[in-house]
Amino acid sequence: MPGPNVVARVGAMLRAVATAEPDGASTTELGKLSGLARPTAHRLLTALADEHLVSRDPKTGRWSLGPELYLLGVGAAQHHDVTDQARAVVTRLARESGESAFFSARRGDQTVCVL
C-alpha cells in the first residue's frame, strides 16, 4: 500500500474509475488518469476490489465502480440529496424558457448533472 497520502491516492483512483464509467478502464489508463504509477495503481485497485469498491471484468480486465460504492452512495444521499429541493425550480425554468434546464453540482473544475 502507498505511503502517507493513501487517502488522497485512493480518492484519486476512485475518481479516475468514476470518470471511466460506463465502459471502465485498464489499469494503465487509470494510473494515468489518477496520476499514479501503474504498479501503485494496480495495488490500489486490487485492494479496492477486495472491499468491493471497484470491480474488474474478467474478460476485458477493465475496472469499474463496485457494488459497495452504490450502497455507500445510498446512505450518503439521505444527507446530501438536494434534487427534491431543486426539481420545482428546474421545472419552472424549463417551462418558462422553453429550453432544457439542468441542475448540476460542481466537482473540482467540472460539473456533474444531477437533475
Give a yes or no: residue 74 inside a domain. no
40-85 residue pLDDT tens: 999 999 999 999 999 999 999 999 999 999 999 888 888 877 888 8
Cα–Cα distance for residue pair 72/76, rounded to 1 Å? 6
In terms of domains, do 60 and 25 share one?
yes
Q: Letter for the amino acid at 53?
A: L
Verify that 13 and 59 share a domain, yes or no.
yes
User: Which domain covers residue 26, as residue numbers?
Assistant: 6-69
Instruction: State pTM to two decimals.
Output: 0.74
Total structural domains within the chain = 2
Kindly state whether residues 34 and 60 are assigned to the same domain.
Answer: yes
11-32 per-position pLDDT tens digit:
999 999 999 999 999 999 999 9
- The alpha carbons of the chain give a radius of gyration, in whole angstroms, of 17
